[in-house]
Amino acid sequence: MKKFTCVQDIGPLDIALAKAAEVKANPFSDQILGKNKTLLMIFFNSSLRTRLSTQKAALNLGMNVIVLDINQGAWKLETERGVIMDGDKSEHILEAIPVMASYCDIIGVRSFARLEDKAFDYNETILNQFIEYSGKPVFSMEAATRHPLQSFADLITIEEYKKVERPKVVLTWAPHPKALPQAVPNSFAEWMRETDYEFVITHPEGYELSEDFTKGVRIEYDIEAAYKDADFIYAKNWSKFNDPDYGKVVNIDRSWMVDEKKMQLTRNAKFMHCLPVRRNMIVSDDVIESKDSIVIPEAANRVVSAQVVIREMLKSI
C-alpha cells in the first residue's frame, strides 16, 4: 500500500477486517517487518488519540518513530507556490517535504481543513503535496476531508459490538460552540456506504455534507425518526459545507445533543464518538458514562486500524 487516504485504499472491507482481527490477536508478530524502519508522524494540528495510537501501532511493528509538531519548533511553512516569501514563513513545503522524507520510510500526516477556502480544503492541498513530493508511502492521520484511520477503527468497533447482522447505524450532527471540519462525518459516511448496514444521517437543515460522501444515503431531518430502533448512535459536530456559509456555524441548537431521552428511542443503541467530545454539548454525562457507551474501546481500536495500515505499507517497501 503506497497511500491511505480513503476507504478505497484499504481494499475489500471483509479482508481489512480479517487483518484487523489478526493484528488484534497477535500485535507483536510482525516486528521483523518494521526493524530498522522509521515512521515520521507530522502534525499540523493537535492530537491525543492519533498521536499515541499510531505511535503504539508502529512500536508494535518494531519501527522507530519520529514525531514532528510542525507549528511548534519547526520553521513556519509556506504551502502555496508563487508566493513571495517576505513574511513570517521561512521555509517552503516543497523543500521541507523531500527533506523530511529523506529521514524516514513511511510518513503520516495530520492536516485539518482550514475552513477558509473550500477548494483548498477539498483538493486536499497539503496531503497531496506529501503524496506527490515525498516519494514515500503516506497515510492520512486526518486530513481536510477525511479521517480514514478513525473510520476504519469505527468499523472494527461496530463489527465487534453489533448484535444483528445488518445493524441500523445513525450518524447524528450535535451542537458545538466552534466551527469544526467535515472530515470525520464525511469519512464515516464513506466507510458506512461500503457496508451493507442500514445507514442514516440526521442533522438540522442546512448542514448537508458533500454528496460525494452521502450520495444514496438516507438523510433524515426528523431526529426521532432517525433514532428509532437504531443499534448505533454516532455523534459528531460539523460546520456547514454548502456555500455561502462554508466552514461556518449557523446553528448550535442544544436540542440535538445526544441524551437519555433520545437514546430511549433506540434498540439499546451503543453510543459512539471519535473523541475528544464536549460533554453536555454533544452528549450528556449520563449517555457517555452509560454501559452502552463504547467510546473507549472505539479509541482503543485506533491502534488496530493504524497497525493494519502501517503493516501493509511496510510490506510494500
Give least dist CB 300 to ligand CP, A: 12
Query: Could you tell me the smallest distance in angstroms from the CB atom of residue 187 to ligand CP?
Result: 11
d(CA 3, CA 130): 10
**Residue 50 CB, nearest distance to ligand CP (Å)?**
3
Interacting span for ligand CP (CB under 6 A) from 23-31, 122-130, 195-203, 268-276? 268-276
Peptide bond into 137 cis (omega under 30): no
Cβ contact 62:31 at 8 Å: yes
- State the number of binding residues for ligand CP (CB under 6 A): 9
* CB-nearer residue toward ligand CP: 101 or 274: 274
Rounded to a whole number of angstroms, the minimum distance from the CB of residue 181 to ligand CP is 11
Instruction: Draw the binding track, 26-65, toward ligand CP (x: CB under 6 A; -: no contact).
Output: ---------------------xxxx---------------
**Which residues, in sequence order, are CB contacts of 311 under 8 Å at separation 6+?**
19, 23, 30, 33, 61
CB of 72 vs ligand CP, minimal distance in Å: 16
Binding pattern to ligand CP, positions 154-193, x when CB under 6 A? ----------------------------------------
> Which of 220-233 are b and which e, b meaning 16 or more Cβ less than 10 Å from the residue's Cβ?
beebeebbeebbbb
Q: How far is the CB of 53 from ligand CP (least distance, A)?
A: 8
- In terms of CB distance, is 50 or 134 closer to ligand CP? 50
Residue 105 CA to residue 63 CA, distance in Å, equals: 10
Q: How far is the CB of 67 from ligand CP (least distance, A)?
A: 12
Per-residue binding letters, 142-161, with ligand CP (x by CB under 6 A): x-------x-----------
Q: Which of 40, 201, 274, 309 binds ligand CP (CB under 6 A)?
A: 274
Min dist CB 107 to ligand CP, Å, is 17
Q: 149 — phi, psi (to 5°)? A: -65, -35
Task: Give the contacts of 26 (CB within 8 A, at least 6 positions apart).
Answer: none
Contact criterion met (CB below 8 Å) for 237 and 174: yes
- Sheet with 232-236, strands from edge to edge, namely 218-219, 198-202, 168-173, 232-236, 270-272
Residue among 230 and 306 whose Cβ is closer to ligand CP = 306
Closer residue to ligand CP in complex, CB, 48/164: 48
Cα-Cα-Cα-Cα torsion 269, 273, 279, 283, nearest 10 degrees, comes to: -30
What span, in angstroms and rounded, lies between the C-alpha atoms of 33 and 298?
Answer: 26
Cα angle for residues 159, 160, 161 (degrees, 5° grid): 95
- Nearest CA-CA partner of 35 in 12, 53, 56, 58: 58
Instruction: Write a three-state SS string for 189-205.
Output: HHHHHCCCCEEEEECCC
Q: Tell whether residue 125 is a contact of ligand CP (CB under 6 A).
A: no
Q: Between 152 and 199, whose beta carbon lies closer to ligand CP?
A: 152
Q: Rule CB under 6 A: say whether 275 interacts with ligand CP.
A: yes
Q: Which is nearer to ligand CP, 168 or 236 (CB)?
A: 236
Residues that bind ligand CP (CB under 6 A): 47-50, 142, 150, 274-276
